[in-house]
Chain A
C-alpha cells in the first residue's frame, strides 16, 4: 500500500526527518507514536508533499513512486491528509469546504457529477454538517470542524487517509466518536489509514500496526501484537525515568 523508504527532509536549513522508513498495509491502521517534536507531523507532510525540502528516499503508493510529485498530484494518486489543528478554510462555508475537498473529482459545474454524490455521502456521514452547510467553517465548534476536515479529505474517495492528531482539542466523548469513525472507515470501507495520535490508549485500541518516532527517526515499528501494551509506549512518551516515576505511586 504505502511504503516510505529512506526519506530525509526538513525546513530549509533545519533537518527534522532522518532516513525514515514506514509502511501502511492495505485495509489496516498504522499508528505513529512519539513525543512532540519527534517528527510525526513532518512525516505526514513529507508523504503529502508539503514538507519544504525532502532529499532522497522513495514514497510509494501501490507501487507508484510519488517522491518527486507535487502535493496536488499526490491527492489525485489517492492520498488524503487531514492536517492538525482542524485546518479547514475558515472563511468559506461548510459546503464550500466540502466542494473544495472534491476538487479533484471530475464532472461539470460546481455541484455536478461525482462531486454531488460525494457531497451527499459526506452529509450522510456527518448529518450535522448538512444542518450547518451555509455556516462559515470558522464559526463551527472544534468537533464539527474536525468532522468537516475529515469529510473534506474523504470527498475524493482516497486510497490512503492520513490523520494528524484528530483528537487534539476535542472533548473525550467526541474523541471516542472520531476514533470510532476512523476504525469504521477501515472496517466498512477498507480504507488504509496512517494515524498520528497522542492519546495512546485510544489509538492503540484501533491500531493494527505501530511505529514509534524519536528525534526524526522511526526507532521501532511492527504489528501491534509485538508491543507489550504500555511498556514501549510509555517509555516513548514518559521516558525511562517517567516509567519509574509513574509506577512509583501505584
Chain B
C-alpha cells in the first residue's frame, strides 16, 4: 500500500496537471473560473520569485511588482511597436529585461544587507508611475496601452490556448524553482541566509550568491507581467500599485517563504479572498498587514509549514502511512574503514603577522609555519590570540601587518571565500550549524566549491546532476562514517548534541578536500569515545598529507597529536617546538597554570633524553 502510493505519486501529479490543462476545454471551468485560475497562476509566479529571495537569500525584495510592470511593458511594446507578437519572444525579452533591472537594483541594494534591498526595491515600485510618465511615448503614459494579440508561429494565442500557455509557463517555472531549490545550490542558499560567515568559509562569495538569487527571483515576476499583458490586452500604471506589492508579500509569508509550492497556496488565498469578499477593497490593507503580522510572528513557515507539521504529527500517530525510509545510506552497515584519499597539503606560513583592535594588540609579530603531513598545534591561555590567528588565516580578519603565505602565494587580506577556495577549511569554536537541513546534506555543502554540477544542469536535472549528487552524498556518507557518526546522517543537523556537531564540522571541512585544516577547539565538549574518533580522524588527515592547524586546550590531546606546538601568550609567540620540548618548557607551564615560583631555565636546556608523546 505504502510503496504503491509512492510509486504512483509522479503519475498522480501528472494526471492532476493534465486535468488542470483540459479543464476549460471539457467544461469543468467556465470563463470566470478559468480567468481566476490564470490570475492565481500569474500571482503565484510573482510570489514564487519573492519566496526565492526572501526564503532562501533572507533578503526582502518588494520590487516584484516593478518587475511585473517591466515584463508587461516589454512584452506589450514589442508587440505594438515591432509586431513581435510571438509569445516566446515576449517571454524571453521579459526575462532579459528582468535580469537587467535585477542587476541594476541588486548590485547597490545588496551591498549592505538588512533593509537596503527592501528599500531600493520598494523605491522601484513607487517609481513605476513616474517612469511610465517619463517614457510615455513608449508606454502610453497614464492612459495605458492596448497590446497586440499574442501569437505563436502564426496561431493566435487566445481563449483556451492562452490558458494553456499560462499554465504551462507556471508549471515550467515551478519545475525550475523546485529543481534549483532542492539541490546543493538550494542548500547553500539556506546556509547563506542563516550564516553568511559559514557560507564564506565554504568558499561562497556571499554578495555574488545573493545577487544571483535575487536576479533569479526577478525572472518569474517579469514572466508574470508578460502573461498578464496577454491576458488583459491592456497595460496601465494603476495595475502596478504598492497594494499589489503588499499582497505579494502577504501571499509569500502566508504560503511559507521557504517552500517551493507555498507560493501557489498563498496566491490562491489572496486572489480568492479579493474576488469573493466585497468588503475586501475597503479593508484590503488592514488584511494584508494582519497577515504579515500573524505570519511573521506565529507561523513563520506559512501554510505549507503548518501542513507539513500536521502531516508529520499524523504520521507519528500512525494515521498516515510513513514514508519509506530514504534509500538506506549506501553501505551504511559496513565496518568503519575509510582510508582518506591523499590530500594535496601545502605549507602555510605567517611572517610577522599582526592584528590590532583599537589600542589592543591581539596578535603581535607572529611567525609560524605549518607543513603538510603534520599537525601544528597552537596553544596558550584564553585571550592569547589563537582564534585571532585562525580568523586572520581564513580571512575573517584583515591583517594589520605582516604576511600570510599559502605555498608561495600571499593570501593575507583576501576575502574569506577566496581563501577557502585556495583550500583552507575551518571549524568553529561554537559550531555553525544551519536549521532545516539533514546532517548528510550539510556535510555535502562542504563540497560546494568543487561541486561540479552547475545551476543549469541542476535545473534540468541532467544525468551529470544525478551523478554529481550521488557522488557528493557518497563522499559525505563516507566522511560521516570516518568520524563515527554515520547513524545521524538522516537527522536534522541542528538537533545534534554539541560533541556530535563538532564531528559534523570536521566531516564538513574534510568534504571540501581542503589542503589546510584549521580546527578551533575541536576537542572541547567531546566525551572519551568521541575524542578517540577525533584523534583518529586527525591522524588520517595527517597521513593523507593534509596540513592541520589545531587550536586546543586539551593538553594531552595536543601532546598526542601535534608534531609541532606553538605557544601564544598575549598575542606573541612564546615558544615553538616539538611536544617534548614544549612540555619541558617551564615558561609554558607557568603560562598555563600561573605558577611563578619555578625558576627560569635557559632556552637550550630542554631536550629531554626520551621524548615522549612526539610521534
Contact = CB atoms under 8 A, between A and B. Distances in A.
Nearest to A132: B359
B495 A199 contact: no
A245 B357 contact: no
Given A138-B359, A201-B595, A239-B554, A249 B584 contact: yes
Interface string A151-175: 0000000000000010111111001
B123 interface: no
A155 to B, nearest CB: 22
Interface of A: 13-14, 16, 35-37, 84-85, 90, 136, 138-142, 145, 165, 167-172, 175-176, 198-203, 215, 237-239, 241-242, 245-246, 248-249
Interface of B: 357-362, 381-385, 494-495, 497-498, 521, 524-525, 527, 553-557, 559, 570-571, 580, 583-584, 589-596, 608, 612-613
A239 B553 CA distance: 11
Given A168-B381, A200-B593, A239-B555, 14 more contacts: A16-B498, A35-B524, A36-B521, A84-B382, A90-B358, A140-B360, A167-B381, A199-B592, A201-B595, A202-B593, A202-B596, A215-B525, A215-B527, A237-B555
B556 A142 contact: no
A198 B524 contact: no
B502 to A, nearest CB: 10
A246 B583 contact: yes
A238 B361 CA distance: 29
Contact of A248 (B384, B521, B612): B612
Contacts of A200: 593-594
Most buried by A among B357, B360, B521, B584: B360
B359 A139 contact: yes
Nearest to A234: B593
Given A13-B495, A37-B521, A169-B571, A245 B383 contact: no
A141 B494 contact: no
B613 A142 contact: no
Contacts of A175: 594
Given A138-B357, A141-B360, A36 B594 contact: no
28 contacts: A13-B495, A35-B524, A35-B554, A37-B498, A37-B525, A37-B553, A90-B358, A138-B358, A139-B358, A140-B359, A141-B360, A142-B361, A169-B571, A198-B381, A199-B381, A199-B592, A199-B594, A201-B593, A201-B594, A202-B594, A202-B596, A215-B525, A237-B555, A239-B554, A239-B557, A245-B556, A245-B559, A246-B589
What 6 A-B pairs are tightest by C-beta distance, nearest first?
A169-B383, A199-B594, A202-B594, A168-B383, A37-B524, A138-B358
Nearest to A242: B556
B495 to A, nearest CB: 7
A241 B579 CA distance: 15
Contacts of A237: 555, 592-593
Contacts of B596: 172, 176, 201-202
B475 to A, nearest CB: 28
Nearest to A179: B594
Contacts of A85: 383
B358 A169 contact: no
Nearest to B558: A242
A85 B383 CA distance: 7
B555 A169 contact: no
B269 to A, nearest CB: 31
B360 A145 contact: yes
Nearest to A138: B358
Given A138-B358, A215-B527, A239-B556, A249 B594 contact: no
Contacts of B612: 245, 248-249
Nearest to B431: A14
Contacts of A165: 382-383
Contacts of B591: 172
A245 B595 CA distance: 18
Given A14-B498, A169-B382, A249-B612, A142 B570 contact: yes
A35 B494 CA distance: 24
Listed residue (B498, B584, B591, B612) with the most chain A CB atoms within 10 angstroms of its CB: B498
Contacts of A145: 360
A45 B422 CA distance: 39
A241 B385 CA distance: 27
Given A238-B556, A245-B556, A245-B612, A13 B383 contact: no
B613 A245 contact: yes
Contacts of B495: 13
Contacts of B521: 36-37
Contact of B594 (A167, A215, A245): A167
A239 B360 CA distance: 33
B524 A36 contact: yes
A198 B524 CA distance: 15
A170 B570 contact: yes
A199 B590 CA distance: 8
Contacts of B556: 238-239, 241-242, 245
Nearest to A164: B382
Contacts of A245: 556, 559, 583, 612-613
A21 B593 CA distance: 25
B591 to A, nearest CB: 8
A170 B555 CA distance: 21
Given A14-B498, A170-B570, A245-B612, A35 B360 contact: no
A172 B359 CA distance: 19
A177 B119 CA distance: 53
Contacts of A248: 612
* A35, A145, A248, A249 — most chain B CB neighbours (10 Å): A249
Nearest to B606: A249
Nearest to B552: A36
A248 to B, nearest CB: 5
A183 to B, nearest CB: 14
Contacts of B360: 138, 140-142, 145
A130 to B, nearest CB: 17
Contacts of A16: 498
